[in-house]
Structure 1
Amino acid sequence: MLIDVAIEKVKGLISFFEGYMETGFLEALEIAKEIAVEMDIGATFRKRREIKRKKQYDENPDDTNIATRSAEESFRINYFTPVVDQAISSLTRRFEQYQGYQKIFGFLFTSETLRSLDKDSLKSSCVNLEAALMKDKQSDICANDLFVELKFLQNFMPKENIGHVEILNFLKRHDCFPNASIAYRVLLTIPVKVASAERSFSKLKLLKSYMRTTMTQ
């Protein structure tokens, strides 16, 4: 999967969960009841015995509402909403690096996006990309040369909207855009996965397990 497709899918998934938290409880409840019936399990919430007590003069009215809240509503507030909210926050936190990629490489995603930029916006985008690809005061591209190439490329590319893979293939057929070719090659090698830390720690146990570790080591 390409990075721009991954960004679009993650945004769509987050928006789905945001809408699901507002309107999805009743649908999830009906699905859960159908599964419970198939498994021959009671499809009703367990009701607690209501304790009647005298209301104190300094008691908050919301406290009485909590006591008289139905089991279904209590399940929605205490379980369903926190689980969906945790999914939204986890997705946002884990893929927040995508936002940085989009700010740096977003103007190269499609030919339509590239053609929509004016002179000043294109210039600033090239400067930001040069700074992002700089290490030890040396960058893989030159912002001024990239600006000249992309400015010419805006009118030289095919009129239909194409993605960055097609743009790079177009640049390979016309070997006169060295900086643009480097920028698109870097864009196409950005990894989509964010599970490198979990993967390396799982492999660590193959080399050093609890059974091999001793106090002297």
Structure 2
Amino acid sequence: MTSLDIAFMTVLWNRILERFDKTSVKLQEKSLDLSVAVKLLKSLREYIGSIRNNFNDIEKVALSLSKVISKKLEQYNDLDRKFGFLTYFKSITEKEIVDMAKNLGKIYPDDLDCDIFPEEMIHFTKLVDEQDEEGKIKMPSALKCLQIIHDNKLNSVFRNVEVAYRLYLCLPVANCSAERAFSKLKRVKDELRSTMKNPRLNALSLMTIERSLLKEINTDEIIVKFQKKKRK
């Protein structure tokens, strides 16, 4: 099926199933009157019949949705081109691994050492082969690879590889998971704000008392240094 076909069927079935769901929930109510139930089912039948006359409207929505899907797919493909080798390294050559690792290192120069990361990655693929002596794992997941590093306490040996996998695993596949994460983060922030301890209060007091000196400090410089600091 093409992306337009998928979009068309998505719009069509979303309309139909949404009405079926609401009707089904209503029909399960103990207090529902029989005559109301009959009318509800008849109206649902009429609604399904009326959809046949609205295909042009559905097609317009489907075209719009298809464009959105195509754009999202392009973004996912772009991310896969950057990070994909972290999971399908067993099916590509060492040269391809090195090239892709170098490319990822250039994209994230503050997090990955472009000179060391490619060789680290090759070394890590050999370690995965050693871990899988029976050859059962054809395509290890990113999470499995990260677990191998952590379970064997090899963070210092594969520092760049470990960071690369963390970057990859932090990418939200679905928008809803990201929204839930930010929602949870907001709750954590609120909790932290409501339990402000003495050290922070003392620091804030000192900053207020010495505000004239604080104004002379170049905070932009500090922020830039913090941004350039590599994640460990």
> Shorter-chain TM-score: which interval?
0.5 to 0.7
Quote how far apart the aligned CAs of 1:43 are. Answer: 4.5
TM-score by length of 1: 0.53
TM-score by length of 2: 0.51
Secondary structure, counterpart of 2:42 in structure 1:
coil
Which residue does 2:218 correspond to in 1? none
Q: Do 2:117 and 2:160's aligned partners in 1 also have CA atoms closer than 8 Å?
A: yes
Which residue does 2:113 correspond to in 1? 142
**What are the residue-to-residue correspondences of 1:1-217 with 2, within 5 Å?**
18-19=5-6, 21=8, 38-41=40-43, 43=45, 75-76=54-55, 78-94=56-72, 96-108=74-86, 110=87, 113-134=88-109, 139-157=110-128, 158-159=131-132, 160=137, 161-172=139-150, 173=152, 174-175=154-155, 176-194=157-175
Give the alignment's Cα RMSD to 1 decimal. 4.3
Quote how far apart the aligned CAs of 1:99 are. Answer: 2.4
**Are the structure 2 counterparts of residues 38 and 150 from structure 1 closer, same or farther at C-alpha, using a change threshold of 3 Å?**
same
Q: Which amino acid aligns with 1:100?
A: D
Tell me, which stretches of 5 or more residues in structure 1 are unaligned? 1-13, 46-70, 200-217
Secondary structure, counterpart of 1:41 in structure 2:
helix
Alignment partners' CA distance in 1, 2:52 and 2:75: 36
Secondary structure, counterpart of 1:144 in structure 2:
coil
Which residue does 1:64 correspond to in 2? none
Pick 1 or 2: higher relative contact order, CA cutoff 8 A, min separation 6.
Answer: 1
Q: Which amino acid aligns with 1:82?
A: K
Which residue does 1:6 correspond to in 2? none
Q: Do 1:95 and 1:194's aligned partners in 2 also have CA atoms closer than 8 Å?
A: no
Q: Do 2:7 and 2:63's aligned partners in 1 also have CA atoms closer than 8 Å?
A: no
Alignment partners' CA distance in 2, 1:190 and 1:91: 18
Tell me, which stretches of 5 or more residues in structure 2 are unaligned? 24-37, 183-232
Aligned residues with identical type, % of pairs: 17
**Are the structure 2 counterparts of residues 23 and 98 from structure 1 closer, same or farther at C-alpha, using a change threshold of 3 Å?**
closer
Larger helix fraction of residues: 2
Quote how far apart the aligned CAs of 1:171 are. Answer: 1.3
Quote how far apart the aligned CAs of 1:105 are. Answer: 0.6
Alignment partners' CA distance in 2, 1:37 and 1:29: 18
Quote how far apart the aligned CAs of 1:148 are. Answer: 1.2
Quote how far apart the aligned CAs of 1:32 are. Answer: 7.6
Quote how far apart the aligned CAs of 1:83 are. Answer: 2.4
